[in-house]
């Protein structure tokens, strides 16, 4: 904080820290006051959490201003945990407590026998320690095996024997996570996974401030903000969450996935490890980022994928990292100075997709790899439509209809790729629609030209084999009513 902090109770009493903000207000009042100050100064709240500015963040702000315990309801990968952890940004820089106390007693208002005994024994010389905001945040992942002892506490017979105290004495208690979060934030991930009796203990703390440990009543007026997360599917009245606890949670806030591809691209760009130290320069084209993000968007809509499980934002993050790594590997093998991801690298990142989706019965019949390939192909088709709507591709299609063929293997060097692609009439000039000019690097131009071909494949205007040989579309093999159609008729585009 830039100044020396008092180390004894006497020094604390005679310092500026003895004023009411540090000694009289609760943690909820502290969060509220600091939030009001941030709102008044126009400071951005929860920096790094994107896409929630007009939806989730205002609801969290309202909950804090209302001094509510609240729950974040949402599917996996919706930044619920990150949002909870960032609540520490609303805390004071330092908070005094009686050093050595298990539940971090307020020096002026101790609630535990341990803290009260210390002050009775040492008076003004009672040692004072200080808590930083991150030390005032306690998080627990709820699992069915969590016990009352874990959450609230238990009698410690060894402590009783060493001190020669009655086992029913409060000083023999070993406190659990919740009491140790006193004067801070206690966060529970996946609340419905807690056993019913643990949930009862929680709402007793929330309502009455007391618990029973091994049958002994202990009054613990804890000062704590309780924040929970849960999957909406589990947060129901079907036995996984008890109604009295649900009734005592002040605000129920729904999180969500990015509503727009641009938001998803921004989140993935922020979170993915792509700005890495490497012997080669990594350049990621915008259309590649869009394709990766569309994979996640299409997966969330696909009937073959379980919507109750959700498609985490970690999917496009992991895919983009794998895409960059594959491009990096190719550049290192070919001894090139620049690594630019191509569509082939997205197909090489299928393991990052299959591991992050839960399939319905129809998807299980097809297999995860097939479903993932369909998602990539559909994503390419979406981005191609957005970028080239109304653009005449007849010259390129005609090249293949007349028997033209190119082979673009995964490890083919850029020079060889570009040599083949420049031979296709009208192809390279189409890359300008992707924001590329003639001054761009060969690797970027090759990536853009390959994307154009993949877009035509996605719309079934040309074909490609698994060996990545591009050729004419075999119309005679197409099922009736599913023939390749001109790009100019949007009603007849097939993204699958």
In tens, the pLDDT along 43-91 reads 999 999 999 999 999 999 999 999 999 999 999 999 999 999 999 999 9
Residues 206 and 292 in one domain: no
Residues 266 and 192 in one domain: no
Residues 459 and 485 in one domain: yes
Residues 411 and 460 in one domain: yes
Q: Yes or no: say if 359 and 375 are a contact pair by the CB < 8 Å rule.
A: no
pLDDT tens by residue, 181-197? 999 999 999 998 888 88
Q: Which of 227, 254, 281 is the last residue in one of the domains?
A: 254
- 1 within a domain of the structure (yes/no): no
Neighbours of 305 (CB within 10 A): 21
pLDDT tens by residue, 146-174? 888 888 877 665 565 565 555 555 666 77
Residues 281 and 427 in one domain: yes
Residues 339 and 451 in one domain: yes
Strands 469-472 and 462-464: antiparallel
For residue 363, how many C-alpha atoms fall within 13 Å in the half-sphere facing its CB? 19
- 4 within a domain of the structure (yes/no): no
Residues 158 and 273 in one domain: no
Question: H or E element: which one contains 210?
Answer: strand 210-213
Write down the pLDDT at residue 21: 54
Q: Which of 198, 223, 254 is the last residue in one of the domains?
A: 254
Residues 294 and 212 in one domain: no
Q: What is the pTM of this model?
A: 0.85
Write down the pLDDT at residue 41: 96
Q: How far apart are CA 166 and CA 153, in angstroms?
A: 17
Number of H helices, E strands in the chain: 22, 16
Q: How far apart are CA 442 and CA 406, in angstroms?
A: 17
Q: Which of 254, 286, 316 is the last residue in one of the domains?
A: 254
* Percentage of residues in the chain having pLDDT higher than 90: 65
- Token readout for 171 is 């000083």
For residue 335, how many C-alpha atoms fall within 13 Å in the half-sphere facing its CB? 0
Residues 478 and 400 in one domain: yes
Domain boundaries, position 43: 9-254
What is the pLDDT of the chain when averaged over all its residues?
87
Mean pLDDT of 290-312: 95
The domain total for the chain is 2
Q: How far apart are CA 460 and CA 494, in angstroms?
A: 8
CA–CA distances in Å: residue 457 to residues 85, 138, 370, 403, 470: 45, 52, 16, 16, 8
Q: How far apart are CA 341 and CA 348, in angstroms?
A: 11
Closest CA to 441 of 283, 272, 265, 256: 283
Residues 80 and 126 in one domain: yes
- 170 within a domain of the structure (yes/no): yes
Domain of 99, CATH number, reads: 3.40.50.300
pLDDT tens by residue, 422-478? 999 999 999 988 988 667 899 999 999 999 999 999 999 999 988 889 889 875 444
The distance from CA 140 to its chain's CA centroid, rounded to whole angstroms, is 17
Indicate the SS3 state at residue 232: coil
- 37 within a domain of the structure (yes/no): yes
Residues 328 and 452 in one domain: yes
Residues 241 and 317 in one domain: no
3-state helix vs strand vs coil in the chain, percent to 5: 45, 15, 40
Question: ∠ at Cα 89 (86, 91), nearest 5°?
Answer: 125
Lowest mean pLDDT among 25-29, 201-205, 225-229, 417-421: 201-205
């Amino acid at each position: 904080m830039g100044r020396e902090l008092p180390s004894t109770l006497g020094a604390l009493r005679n310092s500026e820290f003895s004023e009411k903000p540090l000694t009289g207000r609760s943690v909820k009042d502290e969060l509220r006051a600091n939030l009001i100050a941030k709102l008044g100064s126009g400071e951005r709240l929860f920096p790094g959490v994107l896409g929630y500015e007009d939806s989730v963040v205002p609801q969290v702000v309202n909950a804090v201003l209302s001094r509510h315990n609240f729950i974040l309801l949402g599917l996996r990968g919706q930044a619920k945990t990150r949002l909870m952890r960032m609540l520490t940004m609303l805390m004071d820089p330092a908070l005094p407590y009686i050093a050595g106390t298990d539940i971090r007693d307020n020096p002026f208002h101790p609630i535990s026998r341990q803290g009260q005994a210390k002050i009775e024994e040492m008076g003004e010389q009672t040692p004072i320690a200080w808590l930083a905001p991150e030390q005032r945040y306690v998080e627990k992942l709820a699992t069915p095996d969590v016990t009352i002892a874990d959450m609230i506490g238990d009698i410690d017979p060894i402590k009783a024997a060493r001190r020669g105290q009655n086992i029913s004495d409060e000083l023999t208690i070993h406190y659990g996570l919740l009491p140790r979060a006193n004067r801070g934030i206690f966060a529970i991930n996946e609340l419905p996974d807690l056993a019913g009796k643990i949930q009862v203990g929680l709402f007793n703390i929330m309502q009455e401030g007391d618990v029973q440990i091994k049958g002994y009543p202990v009054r613990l007026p804890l000062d704590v903000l309780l924040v929970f997360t849960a999957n909406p599917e589990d947060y129901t009245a079907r036995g996984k969450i008890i109604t009295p606890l649900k009734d005592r949670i002040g605000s129920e806030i729904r999180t969500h996935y990015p509503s727009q591809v641009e938001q998803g691209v921004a989140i993935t760009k922020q979170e993915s490890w792509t700005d890495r130290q490497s012997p080669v320069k990594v350049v990621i084209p915008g259309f590649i980022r869009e394709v990766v993000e569309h994979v996640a968007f299409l997966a969330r809509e696909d009937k073959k994928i379980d919507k109750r499980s959700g498609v985490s934002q970690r999917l496009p993050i992991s895919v983009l990292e794998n895409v960059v790594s594959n491009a990096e590997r190719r550049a290192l093998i070919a001894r090139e100075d620049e690594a630019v991801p191509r569509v082939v690298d997205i197909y090489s990142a299928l393991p990052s997709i299959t591991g992050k989706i839960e399939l319905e019965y129809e998807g299980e019949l097809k297999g995860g790899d097939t479903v993932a390939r369909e998602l990539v192909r559909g994503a390419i088709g979406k981005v191609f439509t957005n970028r080239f709507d109304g653009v005449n591709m007849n010259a390129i299609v005609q090249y293949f209809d007349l028997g033209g063929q190119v082979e673009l293997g995964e490890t083919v060097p850029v020079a060889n790729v570009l040599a083949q692609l420049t031979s296709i009439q009208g192809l390279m000039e189409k890359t300008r629609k992707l924001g590329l000019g003639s001054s761009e690097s060969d690797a970027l131009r090759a990536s853009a030209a390959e994307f154009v071909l993949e877009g035509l494949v996605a719309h079934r205007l040309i074909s490609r084999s698994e060996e990545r040989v591009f050729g004419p579309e075999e119309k005679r093999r197409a099922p009736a009513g599913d023939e390749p159609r001109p790009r100019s008729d949007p009603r007849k585009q097939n993204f699958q």
